Amino acid sequence: MSKNLFSQTEALIFDKSRPGHKAYFLPESSIEKLDKKKIIPSHLIRKIEADLPEVSEIDVVRHFTHLSSKNFGVDTGFYPLGSCTMKYNPKLNENTARLPGFSWLHPYQPVETVQGALQLMYLLQISLAEILGMGKVTLQPAAGAHGELAGIKIIKAYHDSRGDTKRNKIIIPDAAHGTNPATATMAGYQAVEIKSTPEGDVDLDALRAAVGEDTAGLMLTNPSTLGLFERNITEVTKIVHEAGGLIYYDGANLNAIMGITRPGDMGFDVVHVNLHKTFSTPHGGGGPGAGPVGVKEFLAKFLPIPTVEYIAEKDIYVFNYDVPESIGRMKSFYGNFPVIVRAYTYIRALGADGLKKSSQYAVLNANYLKKLVEKHLHVEAPERFCMHEFICTPKNIYDTGVHTLDIAKRLIDYGYHPPTIYFPLIVEEAMMIEPTETEGIETLQEFAEVIGAIVNECKSDPEMVKSAPHTTYVKRVDEVKAAREPNLRYRRPIAE
């Protein structure tokens, strides 16, 4: 590739900068005429001009359109990224989130002028409370892990309010999501891991042995990261409650149970759900998301402030800051509002029946795909009905020397986003596949056929699989280096 061609397609926007090019024309600013030194403190005034790219409008459009074509998204292909729920996000959600009455709000506007937004938040709180079987919901946390932190802080506030301060442990089954022990630790607790049985359920004897007067609570990811519904769930909640602990439900992916059963009915005290997973907000690349938390009525007084309330006598919606036992603020302002609008749109568009159907199809699709993949790869817990996702491994073809990472990379050549790999940690060489309810049968069949084709390649030409991907702009990257030494800053090359 000639250097010139490379610069046209691969160059950074900074490298395309040419003095004097610009993409906008603004009238002369009245501020420019003022004496900057009088209105801006001197230490805040730039000494040198900002080093921004100077490019024309067409350069900007081409640059970003080109970049977007290199990206992979749910709108371009099948994205079975287990635990992440990359379902199709209806475009209707975008229309409502962009309505000027929502998108042009300012968080400091007087509440009388944002009644529609508050009403929507209030109605989403009520809808989620109904779906989760909880008393009250906060929409404030910005992600699932953030919701977990809010939830565990609420559990801590509850024990503290009773003067019960010796409880310093949170019990977490080994099939939990990795954020659970991280959350417990961040909230100042000691995370105590308990093993799963060989069938993938919580080991009740181990749980009985672990609980005691120092148990603040238990965090359960259900369905577990093995894609299984915890069969002993009511027994688990009973054991922890009898020891005086509270029970937290990690409902990040509510996809398998929504409309069918409710964490509240199973005995859970606190639960979070990821709006960006279950309730369809685009979240590739890390956000923005929302991780609302629902609590039973007796914990409502600890929810983050402000809460959104409806005052029936006056028929107005308000922010309530007068919650003396609140854990405080979890986020500036009121949560990631556009995500809240998308989730509410999704719930209203599907209705109660639609939500239930989406769970049923998510589970049906996962079980169907599991059966098809089983012909080619080892699947975990083959005898059990899975929930919205399942785990497979290349255990049956270890003799080819090909690993999960290689199969994942080879899938890219076939036009698929790889599944989640090497997670959960309790399964060696795990591949976690979540097809979601929005995929049709043809996609699932084609994907399974491609898995079969790759397994054949592993046997006939393992080196080719191990050097995949072959069709992408970027080949294999050093993922450890990228994670440990991220280089996210542009530095202009020093002129010679």
Ligand X SMILES: *Cc1c(COP(=O)(O)O)cnc(C)c1O
Provide, rounded to whole angstroms, the least separation between the CB of residue 224 and ligand X: 9
Asked if 144 interacts with ligand X (CB under 6 A), we say yes
Output the six-digit token pair for 300: 């409502």
Q: Which of 289, 418, 419, 424 binds ligand X (CB under 6 A)?
A: 289
Asked if 83 interacts with ligand X (CB under 6 A), we say yes
Asked if 250 interacts with ligand X (CB under 6 A), we say yes
Of all residues in the shown chain, the one whose CB is closest to ligand X is 144
Q: Which of 139, 145, 211, 327 binds ligand X (CB under 6 A)?
A: 145
Q: Shortest CA distance to 316 belongs to which of 106, 110, 111?
A: 111
Q: Which of 89, 96, 140, 179 binds ligand X (CB under 6 A)?
A: 179
Spatial distance between the Cα atoms of 481 and 487, rounded to a whole number of angstroms = 10
Q: Which stretch binds ligand X (CB under 6 A): 200-208, 247-255, 444-452, 453-461?
A: 247-255
Provide, rounded to whole angstroms, the least separation between the CB of residue 283 and ligand X: 8
Asked if 133 interacts with ligand X (CB under 6 A), we say no
Q: Which of residues 145 and 293 has its CB atom nearest to ligand X in the complex?
A: 145
* Exposure on the CB side of residue 26, measured as CA atoms within 13 A: 7
Q: Which of 63, 153, 167, 177 binds ligand X (CB under 6 A)?
A: 177
Helix (H, G, I), strand (E, B) or coil at 307: strand
Q: Which stretch binds ligand X (CB under 6 A): 249-257, 324-332, 442-450, 463-471?
A: 249-257
Provide, rounded to whole angstroms, the least separation between the CB of residue 214 and ligand X: 25
Q: Which of residues 177 and 376 has its CB atom nearest to ligand X in the complex?
A: 177
Provide, rounded to whole angstroms, the least separation between the CB of residue 424 and ligand X: 10
Q: Shortest CA distance to 277 belongs to which of 245, 302, 301, 251?
A: 251
Task: Return the residues of window 393-432 that contact ligand X according to CB under 6 A.
Answer: none
Q: Which stretch binds ligand X (CB under 6 A): 46-54, 250-258, 381-389, 471-479?
A: 250-258
**Measured CA distances, 46 to 32, 148, 465 (Å):** 14, 41, 53
Spatial distance between the Cα atoms of 247 and 313, rounded to a whole number of angstroms = 36
Asked if 143 interacts with ligand X (CB under 6 A), we say yes
Strand 293-295 relative to strand 270-273, pairing? antiparallel
Provide, rounded to whole angstroms, the least separation between the CB of residue 253 and ligand X: 5
Q: Which of 291, 304, 335, 418 binds ligand X (CB under 6 A)?
A: 291
**6 class by beta-carbon count within 10 Å (0-12 exposed, 13-18 middle, 19+ buried):** exposed
Provide, rounded to whole angstroms, the least separation between the CB of residue 181 and ligand X: 11
Q: Shortest CA distance to 127 belongs to which of 423, 365, 344, 443?
A: 344
User: Contact 251/151 with Cβ under 8 angstroms?
Assistant: no
Asked if 221 interacts with ligand X (CB under 6 A), we say yes
Q: Which of 128, 137, 252, 392 binds ligand X (CB under 6 A)?
A: 252
Q: Which residues contact 88 (CB under 8 A, 6 or more apart)?
A: 74, 75, 280, 436, 438
Q: Which of 274, 280, 345, 404 binds ligand X (CB under 6 A)?
A: 274
How many amino acids of this chain bind ligand X (CB under 6 A)?
Answer: 13
Spatial distance between the Cα atoms of 169 and 218, rounded to a whole number of angstroms = 9
**Measured CA distances, 299 to 142, 183, 186 (Å):** 20, 19, 21
Q: Which of residues 119 and 261 has its CB atom nearest to ligand X in the complex?
A: 261
Kindly report the backbone phi and psi dihedral angles of residue 285, in degrees, each rounded to the nearest multiple of 5, phi listed first.
Answer: 85, 0
Q: Which of residues 251 and 394 has its CB atom nearest to ligand X in the complex?
A: 251
Give 18-59 as a DSSP string.
-TT--S---PPPHHHHS-HHHHS-GGGS-SS--------HHH
Task: Return the residues of window 324-363 that contact ligand X according to CB under 6 A.
Answer: none
Q: Which residues in this chain contact ligand X in the complex, by CB under 6 A? A: 83, 143-145, 177, 179, 221, 250, 252-253, 274, 289, 291
